[in-house]
Structure 1
Amino acid sequence: MGANLDLVRATYEGSSEDNGRNLAAALAPDATWTEAEGFPYAGTYIGPDAIVAGVFHRLGTEWIGYSAKVHTFMEDGDRVAAFGVYSGTYKATGKSMTAHFAHLYEVRNGKIGTMVQYVDSHMVMQALSAAE
C-alpha cells in the first residue's frame, strides 16, 4: 500500500463532517472535485472551501446517516480509485437510498489534486423525489 492510497483512504474515515475536515487537510489549494452529472450536487468545485461547502456541508446537513463506505481501493501511481456504496436518508423526503459509486483521485505532491465521481445517481435522485 502506497502513500497516495493511504492519503485517500484516510478521507473516508468517520462521519460526513469528519470526512470534510479530513479531506480539507488533504486537498491541494487548487484541487478540483467533480460530482457526477445527475447527482444532486453535480458540477466541479475548485479549492477546499468550495468543495467542503458545496459537497460535504450539504451531505452533513441535508441527509441523516449519510455514508460512503468503500469496499475496494486501487492505486496506480498518482491515481487512486475508491469503489463503494453510498447510503443515507434525505431529510426533506424521509426516503432512504443506497447507490454504488467509484471515485477516481489524482494525487500531486502529497495532496489530492483532482477527484471525479461516478455514481448510480438515479438511486440518489429517487430519495430526493417527494412523489411515491
Structure 2
Amino acid sequence: MRSPHQIVGDHYAASARGDVAAMMAEVASDVQWTEMAGFPCAGTHVGPDQVVEQVFRVLGRDWEDYRFELETLLDAGPHVVGVGRYRGRHRATGKMLDARVAHVWEVRGGLVRRFEQFTDTLLGAQAMA
C-alpha cells in the first residue's frame, strides 16, 4: 500500500497538471474537506463530488491561473502537511492573490479522510474586493 505521503504528493502533482480525476482518485467517499471561514469556498464539504463542485469548479470559474505552489511536504505518519502559496488573479476584480498556506491531510486505509486549509483569509478577501 502506498504511504500517506505518496498519496498526498500524487494529489499535488495531479493538481499541478489540472487533472481533477487524478486529484480525487484516492479521496474517501465521505471525506471531510474544510476550507477556512472567510476564504473562497469556505466550509466543510463532504464527499468528492462536493469538493469538486464547491471548491475546484468555483475556484476555476472565479480565478484566473489559480494554483497552489507546493514548497514543503511534511510526513507525519497518517497526517501529511503541505506548505506553500496560493496564487492567482480574481476574474471580477483583476486583483492578484499571493498567500501563504498550510494544508493538513489525514490519510487512512489508502484514502484521504480529512483535509483542512490554514491561510490568511484577509488576503483572499482583499483580492476579491
- What TM-score range do you get, normalising by the shorter chain? over 0.9
Partner deviation per Cα, 1:32-89 (whole Å, 9 max, x = no partner): 1000111121100000000110101111111111110010011111000000000000
Q: How does 1:86-97 map to 2 (within 5 A)?
A: 86-97=86-97
User: How far has the Cα of 1:12 moved from its partner?
Assistant: 1.5
Superposition RMSD in Å? 1.6
- Runs of 4 or more, structure 1, over 4 Å off, are 14-17
CA distance in 2: counterparts of 1:19 and 1:33, whole angstroms: 18
Between the two proteins, what is the percent identity of the paired residues? 36
Secondary structure in 2 aligned to 1:25?
A: coil
Q: What is aligned with 1:21?
A: 21
- Between the two proteins, the alignment pairs up a number of residues equal to 128
Equivalent pair of 1:39/1:121 in contact (CA under 8 Å): yes
TM-score between both structures, scaled by the size of structure 1: 0.91
Q: Which runs of 5+ in 2 are unaligned?
A: none
In structure 1, how many angstroms separate the alpha carbons of the residues matched to 2:89 and 2:56?
Answer: 15
Q: State whether residues 14 and 22 of structure 2, in contact with CA within 8 Å, keep that contact through their aligned partners in structure 1.
A: no
Query: Aligned letter for 1:49?
Result: D
Q: Distance in 2 between matches of 1:17 and 1:30?
A: 25
The two structures have a TM-score, normalised by structure 2, of 0.93
| 2:33 alignment counterpart | 33
